[in-house]
Structure 1
Amino acid sequence: MSRRDAAARVGVHVRTAADWDRGIRKIGDARVHPDGHRIDYNTAVTSGSVLSLAVVEAELHPRFLTVTERETIADLWRQGESLRAIGRVLGRSPSTVKREIDNRSVAGEYQPHRAQRAWAASRARPKASKLAQHGPLRDYVTAGLQQRWSPEQICHALVTEFPDDEGMRVSPETIYQAIYIQARGGLRRELADALRTGRTRRALHRSPEQRTPRFDDMVMISERPPQIEDRAVPGHWEGDLIVGTRSESAIVTLVERSTRYVLLGHLPGRHTAEAVRDVLIPLIKTLPEHLRGSLTWDQGCEMAAHKQFTITTGVPVYFCDPHSPWQRGTNENTNGLLRQYFPKGTDLRIHSPEDLEHVAQQLNNRPRKTLGWHTPAQRLRDLLTTT
């Protein structure tokens, strides 16, 4: 069974189960690792590191040299082989071999097992976090967070304010770790409230393959046919909402990808999925059949009724990836133009359907550089007269 199910069966947290799998034990206020070193929860100090045989012989990433490769280097170097010849045998760069011999030799002699132990020792980092220690650096970071500066702003402010003091340096990641990771305990947990996100722990980031689809039967933009992508065929639309103040009003915006022709839908009340569907269906049906190719939208909850829309109109809906507005770049650009008429923070309920039609006509009769200084209305008229 999975680790999560096993942890639930035993009655422990999944992180505790992960520690057990890695051989980590909790003793008092410390976590003891298999190699013998321990991390104290309160002081964040790592101590008692033991260089065990398991650490020396650990095989990690393929970019690291193994004991066997170091033995081969020693044997071939002793036989007088060149760096390039040794590199060819190992499948490594000659510079890797040279760096290994130069850095790990003692009194001009390269010993593979001593080199392996030195490499293993160099990987251990028993020192405490910079921010676990009291001092001016920690005080500066604490004061910056209390002023609601971001970790990145603090990092660059330190360089500006202390240009000659290398001790006053800290990376944004170190600050985040001091806040988020309990074991490092460098900064008070309350300082997390000063972050713009207000989080006390890191947000979980999933790959697109691991994300749960927001709606049933979603067809993602990656499955959109190539003729839509290159704008070769007209009749494919991008859509979105322009939302008014306090999200109490909205306007449905549609733009055709090849002609940039704009359609606006009146939505004076709540922009629920049913309300948006009921505006989109008659809006799309004003178009001739050959201009009802597809609709691309983001994953906003207003498109939860996309299946009913498709059944009624025959227009398939493609969904963009989360947080990817550039995948609907034409619509995003059009919404920026529409904000000249409908500024942010205004109540959109004051605009009637006639007002929206007037604005759409103005945009559709505006010359566009991307159309060779023709207007969207002219391009659409050409399509209607030639088909």
Structure 2
Amino acid sequence: MAGGEREEMSRGIAAGESARQLAGRPGRSPSTVSREIARNSGRDRYRAASADAAAYARGRRPKQAKLAQRPAPRARVEAKLALCWSPEQIAGWPRLQFPGDASMQIPHEAIYLSLYEPRRRQATDRSLTQRLRSARPMHRPKIARRPTGRGIIRATVSISARPAEAEDRKTPGHGEGDLVMGTRPSAVATLVERTSRCTAIVALPDGIRAEQVTPHLTRSLLGIPPRLRRTLTWDRGRETAEHQAVTAETRMPIYLCKPRSPWQRGTNENTHRLLRQYLTKGADLRTFSQADLDAIAHELNHRPRKTHGYRTPAEVYADLLDSGDALTA
């Protein structure tokens, strides 16, 4: 706010104008005018010259650190830093112990500045940076990593575009898939046929990035008879970033669920609950060979299911393979 504006405000205050009226002439916000008046002794003692001088003093740089100006809070801050309190804890604690006492309040930003800002380092004992959780003597600002393009899912096809025939399970050949995670970064991929609930488990010995998952997933899909490769619905994970390459190789379009919508792959999610009996979250799934996973899938596929009238997924899947009419593309 310029000196001329403050002079106009001073005259308006003397005339008894409200903050909204005072704000109208210079085109300022009423809240800006109210703050200007409050920080300069209020309406009864507001003077343009002293307000202008105070604004100039506040704007001068460099400013002395708050802790350098206040010995008592500085001693308290240093004592708490020595106890390995974080600056946020040091700033928050006085709000409970001394509510309403502005002299005891120090924002955590001021503590960090006193420790790291070169012009303010004399405000506190710099050796106390060793008591911070980072223990860094110098501040290292976070630098946003430039995107590399890896893991970005392009040309996604939403589940809303999936053929309606996939919904009622009457037409076989529509599958669901996702990763089952062990101790990171270990995982395996699962493929479940929606009609039969027949499951395949795919080893991922190389990792869970898209370029590591794609060859193993493609090989497993190619093992499915072409007439049963109608669609595949997958979670919206980065491992599907190369879904177009998988579709080009297998002729099986991949549809992605909406974010945070696991129920759109309900068959796959229920299968994962069964698999946790074999593949626990704390296990390194890279130790399971493809033969090990095939044995688990075989056991699961030969377990009777209530939804099939206690027939097994393997039996239902075999019937689908024998039924030429049902598999006509």
TM-score in same-fold range (> 0.5): yes
Looking at structure 1, the residues matched to 31 and 24 of structure 2 have their Cα atoms a distance apart, in angstroms, of: 12
Kindly provide the amino acid, as one letter, of the partner of residue 292 in structure 1. L
TM norm structure 2 = 0.55
| Structure 2 partner of 1:144 | 84
CA contact (8 A) 2:204 2:212 kept: no
Change beyond 3 A, Cα 1:154–1:68: closer
After alignment, is 333-342 or 307-316 more displaced? 333-342
| Structure 1 partner of 2:207 | 271
| Structure 2 partner of 1:311 | 248
Q: 1:86 aligns with which of 22, 27, 45?
A: 22
CA contact (8 A) 1:281 1:313 kept: yes
Higher relative contact order (CA 8 A, sep 6+): 2
Q: Which runs of 5 or more residues in structure 2 are unaligned?
A: 168-173, 308-315, 321-325
TM norm structure 1 = 0.49
* 1:120, distance to aligned residue in structure 2 (A): 3.3
Change beyond 3 A, Cα 1:153–1:270: farther
Kindly provide the CA deviation profile for residues 161-192 of structure 1, in whole angstroms up to 9, marking residues without a partner as x: x9359787655444544555455444338627
Q: 1:353 aligns with which of 281, 289, 294?
A: 294
* 1:66, distance to aligned residue in structure 2 (A): 4.3
| Structure 1 partner of 2:236 | 296
After alignment, is 197-206 or 345-354 more displaced? 197-206
| Structure 2 partner of 1:9 | none
Q: Does 1:188 align with 2:127?
A: yes
Q: 1:243 aligns with which of 154, 161, 182?
A: 182
Kindly provide the amino acid, as one letter, of the partner of residue 84 in structure 2. G
CA contact (8 A) 1:155 1:172 kept: yes
* 1:141, distance to aligned residue in structure 2 (A): 0.8
Looking at structure 1, the residues matched to 261 and 301 of structure 2 have their Cα atoms a distance apart, in angstroms, of: 18
Looking at structure 1, the residues matched to 90 and 245 of structure 2 have their Cα atoms a distance apart, in angstroms, of: 51
Change beyond 3 A, Cα 1:93–1:144: same
Change beyond 3 A, Cα 1:103–1:192: closer
Change beyond 3 A, Cα 1:175–1:110: closer
Kindly provide the amino acid, as one letter, of the partner of residue 270 in structure 1. D
* 1:194, distance to aligned residue in structure 2 (A): 3.7
| Structure 2 partner of 1:201 | 140
Q: Does 1:116 align with 2:52?
A: yes
CA contact (8 A) 2:129 2:137 kept: no
Q: Give the superposed CA RMSD.
A: 5.6
- Residues 13-92 of structure 1: pairs in structure 2 closer than 5 A: 65-67=1-3, 69-74=5-10, 76-77=12-13, 81-92=17-28
Looking at structure 2, the residues matched to 105 and 176 of structure 1 have their Cα atoms a distance apart, in angstroms, of: 31
- Residues 332-351 of structure 1: pairs in structure 2 closer than 5 A: 334=269, 337=273, 341-348=278-285, 349-350=287-288, 351=292
CA contact (8 A) 1:295 1:316 kept: no
Looking at structure 2, the residues matched to 358 and 198 of structure 1 have their Cα atoms a distance apart, in angstroms, of: 58
Change beyond 3 A, Cα 1:114–1:129: closer
Change beyond 3 A, Cα 1:238–1:267: closer
CA contact (8 A) 2:247 2:254 kept: yes
Taking every aligned residue pair, what percent have the same amino acid on both sides? Answer: 23
CA contact (8 A) 1:243 1:250 kept: yes
Looking at structure 1, the residues matched to 116 and 54 of structure 2 have their Cα atoms a distance apart, in angstroms, of: 32
Three-state SS of the structure 1 residue aligned to 2:97 is coil
